[in-house]
Amino acid sequence: MPLPKAELHLHIEGTLEPELAFELATRNGVELPYADTEELRAAYRFSDLQSFLDLYYALMTVLRTEDDFAELTDAYLARAAAQGVRHAEIFFDPQAHTSRGVELDTVVAGLVRALERAEERHGVSAQLIMCFLRDESAESAMATLEAAKPHLAHIAGVGLDSAEVGHPPEKFREVYEAAGRLGLRKVAHAGEEGPPEYIRSALDVLGVERIDHGLRAMEDPSLVARLVRERMPLTLCPLSNVRLRTIDVLKNHPLPRMLEAGLMATVNSDDPAYFGGYADDNFLAVREALGLEDEQLRLLARNSFLASFLEHDEERRSRYLAEVDAYDFAG
Ligand code: HPA
Ligand code: ZN
């Protein structure tokens, strides 16, 4: 039985496995520029974030109907549950769908349909975090927030993703202020490829409550000290970092140094269909490559529940934490 954990950094569009992509392409009459799943998998060799994003946006064009989004999400939840995920806070990218004519209502309805059955089918609780594409304009982000207003009962928070360098958090100050007024929680990708300054401004300008990635914080000791002092959660994605070449080999991942420094790190899968593994695959990989001890893995799992947006259900958080505490690594 895998270690119980929460997944806090997961793009639902990044869970699209080649098999489902081809199935949906056939169903929806979308032509993919690959002959088969094998040829598609061979294209999963990335040189940086942008080279991944190009394929990620191209492949998600097969997602067209409410059923497609529900099926994608249900398949993720089944996989996540098998890997010990008890609670998932799931990112989605509305602009990547609305820009190609798929209505926000369609996307949200499909995601929500799967989430409403998640507990009963998979024993997983789940929430949605709506991400703005940072390489699109602030106006487009604001329009997306406006369009999401009828769906806010189903959306826990907002995030910021896509191409980081050249698109600092400051660009989205007003959007995050508006999201805050709507009672939404706030996270943002920062310090994946972008500099430590982007982490500072995500905190100071956007008022985020977690940093997604935050890897490059390690270049700035005073920032590390601040993140430790504020117990700011970082949602690390180790296999993603290797596949996108922000880290050369997993053995050199700073996770052990981050734990040593007292940072509140969590381990997540980012885009598991593309990066070679789901939540527990990431845990097993860091254990193996970095020689993490059982109690360090337990700490990472505890952190995931402590950093999750479960304030509306503290009883549930306590139950999950008790499960982590009781977990027997030898069993
Ligand atoms: N980084 C930024 N944007 C993304 C990612 C990522 O790893 N995955 C999907 N959108
Ligand atoms: Zn991400």
- How far lies 148's CA from each of 130, 140, 181, 185, in Å? 9, 12, 14, 14
Of ligand 1's atoms, which has the minimum distance to the CA of residue 131?
10
Pocket test for ligand 1, best of 53, 56, 132, 216 (most atoms within 8 A of CB): 53
List the Cα angle 204/208/210 in 5-degree steps.
125
Q: Which region, left, alpha or beta, applies to residue 266 given φ > 0 means left and ψ of -120 to 50 means alpha? A: beta
Does domain 5-320 match CATH 3.30.420.40? no
User: 97 phi and psi, to 5 degrees?
Assistant: -105, -45
Q: From atom 7 of ligand 1, which residue's Cα is the shortest distance away?
A: 270
Closest CA to ligand 1's atom 3: 162
The ligand with the least distance to the CA atom of 135 is: 1
**174-189 burial, b for 16+ CB within 10 Å, e for fewer?**
ebbebbeeeebbbbbb
Q: Which ligand is nearest to the CA of 274?
A: 1
Q: Which atom of ligand 1 is nearest to the CA of 240?
A: 7
Alpha carbon of 132 to ligand 2 centroid (Å): 12
Residue of the CA atom closest to atom 2 of ligand 1: 162
Distance 178 CA to ligand 1 centre (A): 23
One DSSP character per residue, 127-157 reads EEEEEEETTS-HHHHHHHHHHTGGGGGG--E
Residue-level pLDDT, tens digit, the chain, 331 residues = 999 999 999 999 999 999 999 999 999 999 999 999 999 999 999 999 999 999 999 999 999 999 999 999 999 999 999 999 999 999 999 999 999 999 999 999 999 999 999 999 999 999 999 999 999 999 999 999 999 999 999 999 999 999 999 999 999 999 999 999 999 999 999 999 999 999 999 999 999 999 999 999 999 999 999 999 999 999 999 999 999 999 999 999 999 999 999 999 999 999 999 999 999 999 999 999 999 999 999 999 999 999 999 999 999 999 999 999 999 999 8
Catalytic residue among 66, 89, 164, 192: 192
Q: Would you say the pTM of this structure is higher than 0.85?
A: yes
Tell me, in angstroms, the distance from the centre of ligand 2 to residue 326's CA.
30
Q: How far is the CA of 291 from the centre of ligand 2 (A)?
A: 25
As given in the structure block, the two tokens for residue 218 are 């390690």
192 carries an active-site annotation: yes
Q: Report the atom number in ligand 1 closest to the C-alpha of 164.
A: 2
